[in-house]
Amino acid sequence: MSSMLTRGMEVKARAPGKIILSGEHAVVYGSAAVAAAIDLYTYVSITFPPPSRNALAVSLLYLESHFFLVYFFLVWIDSSEILSLQLRDVGLEFSWPTKRIRETLSQTIDSPASATTSCSSETMKLITTLVEEHSIPESKIEIAAGVVAFLWLYTSIQGDKPARIVVSSELPLASGLGSSAAYCVSLSGALLASSDSVNLDFSSEDWLSLGEKEQKLANEWAFEGEKIIHGKPSGIDNTVSTMGNLIKLESGALTSIKSNMPLKMLITDTRVSRNTKALITSVAERRDRHPDTMTSVFTAVDYISNELASTIQLSSSNDLAVVEKEEKVEELMEMNQGLLQCMGVSHASIETVISTTHKYKLSSKLTGAGGGGCVLTLLPALLSASVVDAVTAELQQCGFRCFIAGIGGKGLEIRFGGRL
Ligand SMILES: Nc1ncnc2c1ncn2[C@@H]1O[C@H](COP(=O)(O)OP(=O)(O)OP(=O)(O)O)[C@@H](O)[C@H]1O
Ligand SMILES: C[C@@](O)(CCO)CC(=O)[O-]
Ligand SMILES: [Mg+2]
């Protein structure tokens, strides 16, 4: 793999967003939750400058000491000693001389982790100084946590190598569709695929899945990134983004769900931006105030998620007709929404989506951390297109954005291509 890097090839990774059918927040306290990957991805591209650049520039200078060439040489050398991060979705670009990264984070760089490690509060402070050297507009300040997560993952996996990283996403950011997990998973995947620890066929131009061991490692690193962004994540978002498909997570234990239900969901983005870390903190504070009551709420969610999982699960003992399964799922979604409201993570915009869809006899619940963001509405298989059009039009009139995403698709994938 390292020989590939010396040729300056581009390594790309993509990781999907997710919807949570049941169990957000309660999953942080060990209750079961059910999640599915959606076909909207975050893409990361990494390009390492070829080390031959310096030699080339020196020989050009030697041949002709023209001013333009001297200038060209300086720019060339400079870009080969820089780590840059372009975040296209938010229009921000960051760059650090690798020398600056080395002098600030020498401890992380000089002792590369053989297994995943958590970012200590001391290292977090040092990384924060590197991020604060760039001015981020107040309206985009929440991006800083993502940049800290990037620097932690990058320096832990790649050390202080110069590189250019570009991130872009099809997901709305900070809206409950797991943009932070897709960001961390695609970054970890691309960083590991560019390291010696992963062996892939880089002559292929297709999207490739990592082997089981590498996939696990990418998921573990992504979890470390999510910790920086979410504070106390359950791991469900990074796990479903890495693995794809449909999963149940309960006390950290993963079950893959096979389903033959259509499970078509209308996703309504209320466009109310929220921050998952703040919402997790507010649930933790409510739990501190009412420990027994909140434990009962989380237990009720656990039952809902397990019942939902066995309802949608393809199995010989599950012989209900699709319509009956859909009715069960709808009722479970409504019950879960009631408990999310009880946890204090609903929002006026979410309630508007729920009451609007209810007029069409459709059931909805928030997805992800709540507080705004996205809402799911189950579209039963036999629902007429005219009802979907009517409910969508009414939601759009409220200023919301509606779309239908494919559910249960692929997880993290890697692609090689495009030499410099
Ligand atoms: N494409 C991206 N570019 C830059 N930063 C990103 C990107 N995607 C996610 N992030 C980081 O993740 C943060 C949003 O994460 P947050 O957990 O609050 O929302 P979410 O993951 O979309 O929703 P949920 O956690 O409820 O599913 C952003 O503020 C930013 O720090
Ligand atoms: C709110 C939460 O349960 C889901 C966010 O998508 C947080 C987590 O599980 O990490
Ligand atoms: Mg998130």
The pLDDT tens digits for 127-179 are 999 999 999 999 999 999 999 999 999 999 999 999 999 999 999 999 999 99
| 377 HSE (CA, 13 A, CB side) | 29
Residue 378 has pLDDT above 80, yes or no: yes
Q: Cβ distance 274 to 369 under 8 Å? A: yes
Residue owning tokens 């110069």: 162
Burial class (CB in 10 A: 0-12, 13-18, 19+), 137: exposed
Atom of ligand 2 nearest to the CA of 232: 10
Please give the distance, rounded to the nearest whole angstrom, from the Cα atom of residue 172 to the centre of ligand 1: 9
Same domain, 177 and 272: no
Q: For the domain that residue 263 is a member of, what is the CATH number?
A: 3.30.70.890
> Mean pLDDT across the stretch 373-395?
98
Same domain, 103 and 194: yes
Residue 77 has pLDDT above 60, yes or no: no
Question: 234-253, pLDDT tens digit by residue?
Answer: 999 999 999 999 999 999 99
Atom 10, ligand 2: residue with shortest CA distance: 233
pLDDT computed for residue 112 by the predictor: 65
Q: Cβ distance 22 to 337 under 8 Å? A: no
Report the alpha-carbon angle 274-256-306, nearest 5: 70
Does residue 286 sit in helix, strand or coil? Answer: helix
Give the residue from 164, 10, 143 showing the smallest Cα distance to 86: 164
Atom 23, ligand 1: residue with shortest CA distance: 176
DSSP calls for 108-122? HHHS--SS--PPPHH
Residue 113 has pLDDT above 70, yes or no: no
Q: Which of the listed residues 21, 169, 180 should we mutate to test ligand 1's pocket, taking the one with most ligand atoms within 8 A of CB?
A: 180
Mean pLDDT of all residues in the chain? 91
Domain range holding 273? 259-404
Domain count, the chain: 2
pLDDT computed for residue 196 by the predictor: 78
**Pocket flag, ligand 2, residue 368 (CB < 6 Å):** yes
User: What pLDDT band is residue 318 in, cutting at 50, 70 and 90?
Assistant: confident
Burial class (CB in 10 A: 0-12, 13-18, 19+), 349: buried
> Mean pLDDT across the stretch 211-232?
96
Asked if residue 254 belongs to a domain, the reply is: no
Same domain, 271 and 236: no
**Pocket flag, ligand 2, residue 34 (CB < 6 Å):** no
pLDDT computed for residue 139 by the predictor: 94
Please give the distance, rounded to the nearest whole angstrom, from the Cα atom of residue 43 to the centre of ligand 2: 21
> Mean pLDDT across the stretch 377-393?
97
Same domain, 321 and 276: yes
Asked if residue 324 belongs to a domain, the reply is: yes
Same domain, 209 and 294: no
Same domain, 140 and 273: no
Same domain, 166 and 203: yes
Residue 27 has pLDDT above 50, yes or no: yes
Atom of ligand 1 nearest to the CA of 177: 27
Question: 254-311, pLDDT tens digit by residue?
Answer: 999 999 999 999 999 999 999 999 999 999 999 999 999 999 999 999 999 999 999 9
pLDDT computed for residue 147 by the predictor: 98
Burial class (CB in 10 A: 0-12, 13-18, 19+), 114: exposed
pLDDT computed for residue 199 by the predictor: 74
Same domain, 379 and 320: yes
**Pocket flag, ligand 2, residue 265 (CB < 6 Å):** no
Please give the distance, rounded to the nearest whole angstrom, from the Cα atom of residue 268 to the centre of ligand 1: 17
Same domain, 266 and 134: no
Asked if residue 16 belongs to a domain, the reply is: yes
Catalytic residues: 237
Atom of ligand 1 nearest to the CA of 175: 22
pLDDT computed for residue 51 by the predictor: 65
pTM, rounded to two decimals: 0.93
Asked if residue 150 belongs to a domain, the reply is: yes
Asked if residue 132 belongs to a domain, the reply is: yes
Q: Which of the listed residues 27, 88, 179, 227 should we mutate to test ligand 1's pocket, taking the one with most ligand atoms within 8 A of CB?
A: 179
> Mean pLDDT across the stretch 342-362?
98
Residue 97 dihedral angles phi and psi, to the nearest 5°: -60, 135
Asked if residue 30 belongs to a domain, the reply is: yes
Number of H helices, E strands in the chain: 15, 12
Smallest-distance ligand from the CA of 14: 1
Asked if residue 395 belongs to a domain, the reply is: yes
Same domain, 129 and 213: yes
User: What pLDDT band is residue 76 in, cutting at 50, 70 and 90?
Assistant: very low
Same domain, 218 and 84: yes
Q: For the domain that residue 41 is a member of, what is the CATH number?
A: 3.30.230.10
> Mean pLDDT across the stretch 338-360?
98
Please give the distance, rounded to the nearest whole angstrom, from the Cα atom of residue 19 to the centre of ligand 2: 10
**Pocket flag, ligand 1, residue 176 (CB < 6 Å):** yes
Please give the distance, rounded to the nearest whole angstrom, from the Cα atom of residue 235 to the centre of ligand 2: 8
**Pocket flag, ligand 2, residue 234 (CB < 6 Å):** yes
Atom of ligand 1 nearest to the CA of 172: 22
Same domain, 44 and 179: yes
Looking only at the bridges linking them, the beta strands covering 246-250 and 253-256 are antiparallel
pLDDT computed for residue 110 by the predictor: 80
C-alpha distance from residue 122 to each of 100, 105, 206 (Å): 17, 10, 41
ipTM for this model: 0.99
